[in-house]
Amino acid sequence: MTRFLAGLILALFALSAPAAAQPVDTGHLVAELVPASQGVFPGQTVYVALRQKIDKGWHTYWRNSGDSGEATRIAWTLPPGWTAGDIVWAPPERQPTGPLMNYGYKDEVLLPVAITAPADARPGQSVTLKAAATFLVCEEICVPEDAALQIDLPVTAAPPPKDPRWAGPIEAALAVSPKPAGLTASFQNVDGKLKLAVTGAAVKGLDAYDAYFFPFSGAAIDHAEPQSVERGPEGLTLAITPGYAFQQADAPSALGGVLEVGGKAFEIEASAGAPLPGAAGLGPPPAPAQGPAGAGLGLPLAALFAVLGGLILNLMPCVFPVLAMKAASLAGHGHEHAAARRQGLAFLAGVLATFLALAGGLIALKAAGAAVGWGFQLQSPPVVAALALLMLAVALNLSGVFEVGTSVQGVGAGLASRAGLLGAFFTGALAVVVAAPCTAPFMAPALGWALTQDPASALVVFLALGVGFAAPFTAIAFAPALLRRLPRPGPWMDGLRRLLAFPMYGAAAWLVWVLSVQVGPAGLARLLAAAVVAAFAAWLAGVAQRRGAAGQGRARATGLAAAAVAALALVAAVWPPYGQPAAAGESAPVSAAVPYEAYSAERLAALRAEGRPVFVNYTAAWCVTCQVNEQVALSTQGVADALSRTGAVYLKADWTRKDAAIAAELARHGRAGVPLYLVYAAGGGEPRVLPQLLTEGAVVQALEAAARGS
């Protein structure tokens, strides 16, 4: 009778047990807690799994995420006496992303956790298990997401039955999870390679062709480097490139992780020691790769290169619109030596302040782990939209639609002087902003070196770059002989000013095109609408100024309306943030006569394995130097013929949008920005780096040399 009552109580609990809480959609995955059994007996251990249903194309991470990413974490809130064990991790998948190698999961994964009830748990009660789960979910971008989950389990008077839906999948997940299997493992660090030897019955006879070692420590190995394997009669030996941990004086004496071999996964703990008998032997390790360009510059040479690069940056096409504004400013003060010197110093201050602000932001983002480089601000669609509106406002001001700092009738000399200095300062700042899309000769190795150093050294290099950039204008302002050659101020200056509005209109149009490449037609329509509103605000501001100058009423109200409309235009352009960028490949190729493929590290490796010569163009829509090279040197019949004649493949690495893989590849070659042009020879070896200012002849000559294997 007692057994019958216990069974009846158990059945009633099974029928009335609360269902698991509703799944939580975090944005790019659906998370929920699922049970292996329909309850828990006092003192019993049952498994509850964190289920992740991940959106197509996205992934989460294993306990060691690899080169980037972050592991899934669970923080449990349990009743008193209840305990939760560690996550039972499923075997990870390799997730190559450009030159990086990460470890994690896609589609769906179950991560079981052992939950133990206290012996004094009271049958008849229902307990609520709560878990705060955090995920880093990545595709081309990474999004931190979290979910507050819970599940109700009844405490039963007898061992509960299995959950009909989830018991099987959880048992399968536990079965394939990596476990110790009596394997013996040891490693040696020899000639820059970790020789990891593993022997034992569990691996003997397994197909070791695609064997791979996933370490528990993120610093143990260089995850991106390939692992070679050699089979022995009793096991196998892997040759692995050591990571940061083995570059320290207190290198690890043990190496734990998961060995995947023959479709199975085993947990191993290797100790430092001699190779194991019967594992395998290894040949000599490959020759180390050459270091990135500019790696050995040192601070004095890097600062010198930065000064030279800043000087040359004045001749780059992206700076042309502001060069015209600088020339007009000099013409206005050319015969007032004291005023000209003040203008020159104010311009220098604006340049240096803006360079240091950009450098500080860049260093902070790099320290936070972001993959960014020179021109990083133009990878943000809201920043591009705001700059486009700024360029439009400057152009409308030069066209006389409204004035800045003065009325149409003029004001006192003191105010004009202050406005002039402020204008010179912001002209310097604007010059740096529009110069960001360009990289001049000497700049690339200097910036590449700076971004691998401590913040103080990096700031010195950026300061030197600013000094070189501002030097010509400031030097002319302090050269009376040159100033005397400038024409005297007169009515001609008003016509020149209106003429100089058109380079600024061109700069605004170029930024609109950049945004269209980044976010597609919807974002373009949004910016054009904001531009119309901004132009209306500028017109209102001009009306207010003219009314004020004429002594008419309501000038202040009109001015306030103009400010409100301008603010509305800016908000419409940059907020809320733009959504997903346009898919890669949506922008039309520069010329149908020069075919190219989208760059990927896998495609480059495959082409090199075939013995094909390869030309890689690291570019961006916002990089004016890149676009000039496209038109002048790359979109030509001569280059198209050379590609066809040599059998070379043209790969285009587009950095218009943020791309951590491309940023990492640029850094590997000692560069902090684009353009970068690499030519890989058919015979292998390190790539040849072409100049940043290309000619058709230089490209053709490099392709022909690569086809010959030189």
The structure tokens 């004016």 sit at 624
* Structure letter (DSSP) for residue 216: S
* Segments making up each domain of the chain, as ranges: 2-176, 184-272, 299-574, 597-707
**597-707 shares the fold of 2-176:** no
pLDDT of residue 16: 41
Cα-Cα-Cα-Cα torsion 653, 508, 385, 590, nearest 10 degrees, comes to -20
Q: Which of 150, 130, 237 is nearest to 193 (CA)?
A: 237
Q: What angle do CA 104, 108, 109 make, to 5 degrees?
A: 60
Q: In order along the chain (710 residues), what is the average pLDDT of each group of 10 residues?
A: 44 42 89 95 94 95 91 95 94 87 94 94 92 91 90 92 93 91 88 88 80 92 89 86 84 92 91 67 38 58 83 70 61 63 85 84 63 60 77 80 52 38 78 67 68 78 86 80 62 70 79 75 76 81 75 58 63 56 40 77 86 91 77 85 91 83 80 86 87 86 87
In this structure, what are the phi and psi dihedrals at residue 30, rounded to the nearest 5 degrees?
A: -110, 125
Q: How far apart are CA 701 and CA 710, in angstroms?
A: 11
Q: How far apart are CA 655 and CA 71, in angstroms?
A: 27
Question: Given phi > 0 = left and psi -120 to 50 = alpha, else beta, which region is 391?
Answer: alpha
Q: What angle do CA 36, 156, 130 make, to 5 degrees?
A: 55
Q: How far apart are CA 663 and CA 640, in angstroms?
A: 28
pLDDT of residue 244: 83
Q: Which of 185, 223, 283 is nearest to 96 (CA)?
A: 223
Residue 311: helix, strand or coil by DSSP? helix
| CATH of the domain spanning 2-176, picked from 3.40.50.2300, 3.30.950.10, 2.60.40.1250, 1.10.1740.10 | 2.60.40.1250
Q: Which of 38, 45, 47, 4 is nearest to 19 (CA)?
A: 38
597-707 in CATH: which number?
A: 3.40.30.10
Q: What is the pTM of this model?
A: 0.42
> Pairing mode, if any, of strands 264-272 and 235-240?
unpaired
Q: How far apart are CA 673 and CA 373, in angstroms?
A: 5
Q: How far apart are CA 413 and CA 473, in angstroms?
A: 24
| ω into 144 cis (within 30 of 0) | no
Residues paired with residue 132 on neighbouring β-strands, in sequence order = 75, 148
pLDDT of residue 293: 45
**Cβ neighbours for 534, distance < 8 A, ≥ 6 positions apart:** 389, 392, 393, 565, 566, 569, 570, 573
- CA 285 from chain centre, in angstroms, equals 32
184-272 in CATH: which number?
A: 2.60.40
The structure tokens 């419409």 sit at 572
Tokens of 136: 């880093």
Question: Given phi > 0 = left and psi -120 to 50 = alpha, else beta, which region is 471?
Answer: alpha
Scored b (16 or more CB within 10 A) or e, 193-230 reads bbbbbbbbebbeebebeebbbbbeebebbbbbbebebb
